[in-house]
Structure 1
Amino acid sequence: METPETCERSEYHVFKANWHGVDLEVRHCPSWFSMLEDGFVTQHIEIRTERKRILPITETGYRSHFMNGAEALAAFNNDPVEFVLHWLDEAAKDPAWKRREEADRQGSLF
């Protein structure tokens, strides 16, 4: 059986952003993997924070995320930063994240 032809991984585009005072680096590869034969495309996004600050989507300050389809970011004007900021805003609605933010603001003696 013949294996489908694949494209070489394209380069990452690097963006800077800020979410609630946390500096972010957003790396986006619009064609991390593709199969030319059937038009299949996998995109990849990496998110890194300065000093490994936690976010509602990562405890380590790093997150890798794969998306299938060339249109995966269409709802965000094909803007990976807009997608990441929306993802963070939605994840920040989680009660566990809100409790953590409140605890961080108050500090702890223990």
Structure 2
Amino acid sequence: MEIPERCERAEYEIYQMTWRDIAVEIRHCPSWFSVPEDGFVTQHIEIRSAEKRLLPITETGYRSHFLNGADALAEFDHDPVAFVFWWLDEAAKDPSWTRMEEDDRQGSLF
């Protein structure tokens, strides 16, 4: 694939949300990289929790995720916030998250 000579700066939409009492910022770029003549589009989502709080999709409070295709979020009505809520809820079903969430709430002496 040939890389275009001139790439424009990716523009992000920024959303603030709260998931299980954790403030979360979502940055979404619907066209992080594209090749218009081929119809190729890559979207980018960044997820950051306030104070680097644990999330079931990241232990560092930050997650970067790429989605291929302009319709990658079609199932969520092209809403990145709905996608992130779904992703967090699905990942939170893992029993290991339940333990980590409880430890995070209570704090640890070790």
Pair in the same fold by TM > 0.5: yes
Aligned residues: 109
CA deviations on 1:20-55 (whole Å, 9 max, x unpaired) are 000011000000000111100000000011111110
What residue number does 1:73 align with? 73
In structure 2, what is the Cα distance between the partners aligned to 1:8 and 1:61?
A: 28
Q: CA deviation at 1:95?
A: 1.1
TM-score by length of 2: 0.89
SS in 1 for 2:38: coil
Residues 11 and 108 of structure 1, relative CA distance in 2, 3 Å threshold: closer
What residue number does 2:15 align with? 15
Q: CA deviation at 1:106?
A: 4.6
What residue number does 1:3 align with? 2
What residue number does 1:38 align with? 38
Residues 108 and 51 of structure 1, relative CA distance in 2, 3 Å threshold: closer
SS in 2 for 1:37: helix
Contact 2:54 2:104 in 1 (8 A): no
In structure 2, what is the Cα distance between the partners aligned to 1:83 and 1:28?
A: 11
> What percent identity do the matched residue pairs reach?
67
The amino acid across from 1:27 in the alignment is R
TM-score by length of 1: 0.89
The amino acid across from 1:83 in the alignment is F
Contact 1:4 1:37 in 2 (8 A): no
- Which blocks of at least 5 consecutive residues in structure 1 are unaligned? none
